[in-house]
Amino acid sequence: MSHSARVREILGWYSADNPGTKANLARMLNHGTLGGTGKMVILPVDQGFEHGPARTFAANPAGYDPRYFFELALEAGCNAYAAPLGALEAAAAQFAGEIPLILKLNNSDILVKGDDPCPAVTASVDDALRLGCSAIGFTIYPGSSYRNEMFGELRELAQEAKAVGLAVVVWSYPRGGSLSAAGETAVDVVAYAAQIAAQLGAHVIKVKPPTAHLEVPEAKKVYETREIPIATLSERVRHVVQSAFDGRRIVIFSGGAAKAEADVLEECRQIHRGGSFGSIIGRNSFQRPKADGVALLRKIMEIYKS
């Protein structure tokens, strides 16, 4: 299948990458309902590891079965499905080749309380190859006192992944004792997180929708002096995308905690207007009954197709 002009343009931004990596990026960009548009809607399910099974799956008990998420992503027409090692191992053979996969290589739990998270590396590049994945996924927490450890781990794993033709997806979530609760989603901090992920070699960057709060005093002066527009979510999204090499890296936004369908769709409309490359929607899809989750994901895809 020949690429659309938009997919060719996006792939052209990654000129340092080998043909295998660009081919795997293309597989994600060309798969599903949004294939060829340059937009992406990805299903991520790492919450069982990160938040615990009951908090994650009790709202929709079908989710205790890892096969459920392959079915949900396929029926909805997602570009890719992302999950930790165990969840992919449990069903990847049954659905081999049906949807691009992203293996999350690090995770953490909630059983130890603390302000500065430091997830463990829980899978390898070899695991991603063995399971037929198109990409690895990795979470960094800018703002954590352990950030340098995470940055170093990502550098090594990204280098290894790219060498064997895999793409790199980075969850860049500011978090740590030096940030206020509001600061974790402040527009200056989220834009900084997108820039950090781009500098660390990410092909696809996942961040949270930014608020109008400004956290860093030195940055606040610049936003006010330069009159950077951040009043609306679409303006803030545009600024975050600009912060990832002037929009020359794929930036997608998380769906966050479960909320009403109307709120999810309006947020996606604003994100789309801001020039985002798409959304990565987890709990808002899989914590609903399958028919409702599929319907919601398809509505989100229609927004990005418009």
* Cα(194)–Cα(211) distance, integer angstroms: 15
* Cα(127)–Cα(237) distance, integer angstroms: 34
Task: Return the residue matching tokens 């043909």.
Answer: 19
Task: Please choose, from the candidates 135, 76, 55, 66, the residue with its C-alpha nearest in 3D space to the C-alpha of residue 100.
Answer: 135
Task: Return the residue matching tokens 């709060």.
Answer: 213
* Cα(196)–Cα(97) distance, integer angstroms: 32
Contact of 265 with 299, CB cutoff 8 Å: yes
> 120-121 and 106-107: which strand pairing?
antiparallel
Helix/strand/coil for 62: helix
Catalytic residue selected from 22, 39, 206, 208? 206
Which pair of structure tokens corresponds to residue 251? 């930036």
Is 290 in the active site?
A: no
Catalytic residues: 206
